Amino acid sequence: MGELAIRAERLVRTFPGGVGVRGMDLDVEYGEVHALVGLNGAGKTTLMRLLLGMLRADSGTVAIGAPWSEAGHTVDEPFGYPDLTTIANLTVAARLRGVPRAVVGEVVAGAIAELGLQAYATRRARALSQGNRQRLNLAAALQHNPRVLILDEPTSALDPRGVILLRTALLRRAAEGAGVLVSSHHLDEVARIADRITVISHGAVIGSLDPGGTDIERDFFALVLAEEESGRERMS
Ligand SMILES: Nc1ncnc2c1ncn2[C@@H]1O[C@H](COP(=O)(O)OP(=O)(O)OP(=O)(O)O)[C@@H](O)[C@H]1O
């Protein structure tokens, strides 16, 4: 196996109220979309925050194969500066990722077109709908063509057109060699874009799903219920 975009080994992070992530291993290769699925509270966001260094692990290691300027994420992102327009927000985000001043206008225009934000380009962020705020966050995460992408539930507020735009954008980034980690509750959507699907439950990886499977929802619940059953047996 070649160089990895993301590698996490034996990651542990315990919260006062219980376990967030308990001994997780995960890797993302360059050129693939790797999806994380799991029920609410399974540990997806915690894992992503650990990968991005937003949260300190109790133990375990994380390696990201790109400098910050070549990474993009939408984990815990606010929706931009509320008083700045879409264009201004994206310009700031691009400059912060080191996009040269000479090409920043072109990069921002490309991101606005890619996420379908043309009609909102001069609108202040605070006046955007929730779905368009999510598009703005995604545009900021994608516009500098990062080599490593970490997106937490990127379609949660998107309309069907937005879902298609994002799908196209992520498949393009992966085809160009980026490593993409994405969490989602939309199993059908995940099956369309992911090369690998990892299922997590109660802070641990419990298995994987075949993106080409005929009934991915059934396979998902089979894994989750088996894990819950074995958890109950351990407790009894
Ligand atoms: N800051 C925190 N303090 C205490 N517990 C936390 C904190 N952050 C997360 N947790 C706990 O860690 C577990 C995993 O939460 P996490 O947000 O990672 O789940 P998730 O899989 O992203 O869920 P969802 O699908 O609902 O977004 C949950 O039990 C949650 O309550």
Res 83 pLDDT > 70: yes
Q: Is the dihedral of CA 161, 167, 173, 176 positive or negative?
A: negative
CATH number at residue 163: 3.40.50.300
Residues 61 and 160 in one domain: yes
Residues 92 and 37 in one domain: no
Residues 45 and 155 in one domain: yes
C-beta of 202 in contact with ligand 1 (< 6 A): no
Three-state SS letters, 140-177 = HHHCCCCCEEEEECCCCCCCHHHHHHHHHHHHHHHHCC
Q: What is the residue-averaged pLDDT of the chain?
A: 94
**CA distances in angstroms from 80 to 123, 128, 135, listed in the order given:** 12, 11, 11
Given this model, what pLDDT does residue 2 score?
Answer: 59
Position 18 confidence tier, pLDDT thresholds 50, 70, 90: confident
Domain end (from 87, 121, 146):
146
More confident residue, 120 or 235: 120
Residues 120 and 26 in one domain: no
**Cα(43) to centroid(ligand 1), Å:** 6
Q: Helix, strand, or coil here: 210? A: coil
Position 80 confidence tier, pLDDT thresholds 50, 70, 90: confident
Site to substitute for ligand 1 among 40, 45, 52, 220, most atoms within 8 A of C-beta:
45
In sequence order, the 6+-apart residues with CB closer than 8 A to the CB of 13 are 20, 21, 46, 50, 55, 56, 57, 58
Which amino acid does the sequence have at 233? E
**Cα(48) to centroid(ligand 1), Å:** 11
Q: 141-194, pLDDT tens digit by residue? A: 999 999 999 999 999 999 999 999 999 999 999 999 999 999 999 999 999 999
Residues 109 and 136 in one domain: yes
Residues 196 and 206 in one domain: yes
Residues 153 and 142 in one domain: no
Residues 154 and 61 in one domain: yes
Distance CA 143, CA 77 (A): 15
Residues 153 and 190 in one domain: yes
Distance CA 144, CA 142 (A): 6
Q: 31-69, pLDDT tens digit by residue? A: 999 999 999 999 999 999 999 999 999 999 999 999 988
Whether pTM > 0.90 for this model: the answer is yes
Position 235 confidence tier, pLDDT thresholds 50, 70, 90: confident
Residues 163 and 216 in one domain: yes
Mean pLDDT calculated for residue range 82-94: 97
Distance CA 165, CA 209 (A): 24
Q: Which atom of ligand 1 is nearest to the CA of 43?
A: 18
Closest residue by Cα to atom 2, ligand 1, is 15
The domain tally of the chain equals 2
Q: 102-126, pLDDT tens digit by residue? A: 999 999 999 999 999 999 999 999 9
Closest residue by Cα to atom 26, ligand 1, is 40
Position 17 confidence tier, pLDDT thresholds 50, 70, 90: confident
Domain end (from 121, 146, 171):
146
DSSP notation for 7-43: EEEEEEEEETTEEEEEEEEEEEETT-EEEEE--TTSS
Residues 94 and 123 in one domain: yes
Closest residue by Cα to atom 18, ligand 1, is 43
Residue-number span of the structural domain to which 133 is assigned: 75-146
Residues 2 and 54 in one domain: yes
Domain end (from 112, 146, 180):
146
Phi (first) and psi of residue 214, to 5 degrees: -80, -30
Joined together, the tokens standing for residue 85 give 């327009």
Closest residue by Cα to atom 16, ligand 1, is 43
C-beta of 80 in contact with ligand 1 (< 6 A): no
Given this model, what pLDDT does residue 19 score?
Answer: 82
